Amino acid sequence: MRTSFLLAPVLSVSALALLLAGCTKEPSAEPSGAASMEASEAAAATDDTPSHDTPGDDATGAATAGVAAKLDFDALSERRDPERLLRFYTNALRVGDWADAARAWSLDAQMTPEKLAKEFGGDAGPKIAVGKGDVEGAAGSLYYEAPLVIDFADGRPSRRGTIVLRRVNDVPGASEEQLNWRIERTSTLTQ
């Protein structure tokens, strides 16, 4: 009787081990929805056939072409969320799309792709961090001011300052360009 009492725990442990072994799930050969979405996005980002003109004809230009094609061009018509335009601008700078980055600026700022390339170009794209800003109204306009930090991987000193966006506050007779958020100025440019 004593033997059966001692064997019962051993059998229970063995049975439990077998049950647990049967519960392990073999990895699926098919990727999950999230994994396949990430894979297709990665493939699209490295596609050598860009859907938007981007600078550069070398390997880096081809690699960034897919990223530039994913820029949120609707941000250029944004009237509610100034941060959306800032994301468009910083993403364009990161991939060296100077022409589209210049489109985020107001016409009065007279920003050109050449000026942006001179400021931010180099061997490695800049790392840009934009903090949370504040919206203020004044004389028929809305202003959005946010802190900005730009770091360069090529040894240039970091730049810290602010960036100011402006849009006309639905004033009758204002143009489309004036009604949309645009960069007015930043203290981080050296020119």
Domain of 188 in residue numbering reads as 77-191
Pair 165, 190 in one domain: yes
75 in Cβ contact with 84 (< 8 Å) = yes
Whether the model clears a pTM of 0.75, i.e. scores above it, the answer is no
Pair (99, 186) in one structural domain: yes
Q: How far is CA 176 from CA 71, 76, 89, 168, 181, in A?
A: 20, 10, 19, 10, 10
Structural domain ending residue among the three candidates 15, 43, 70: 70
Last residue of a domain, one of 32, 50, 70: 70
User: 98 and 21 in one domain?
Assistant: no
Q: Which residues of 169-188 are buried (b: 16+ CB within 10 A; e: fewer)?
A: beeeeeeeebbbbbbbbbeb
Give tens-digit pLDDT for 46-84: 333 333 333 333 434 444 444 555 899 999 999 999 999
Residues counted in the chain: 191
- The verdict on 64 and 126 lying in the same domain is no
Q: Residue 116 carries which DSSP code?
A: H
Question: 92-141, pLDDT tens digit by residue?
Answer: 999 999 999 999 999 999 999 999 999 998 877 789 999 999 999 988 99
Give the DSSP H or E segment for 15: helix 2-23
Contact yes or no for 141/131 (Cβ under 8 A): no
Q: Percentage helix, strand, coil, to 5, in the chain?
A: 45, 20, 35
H/E run at residue 128: strand 127-130
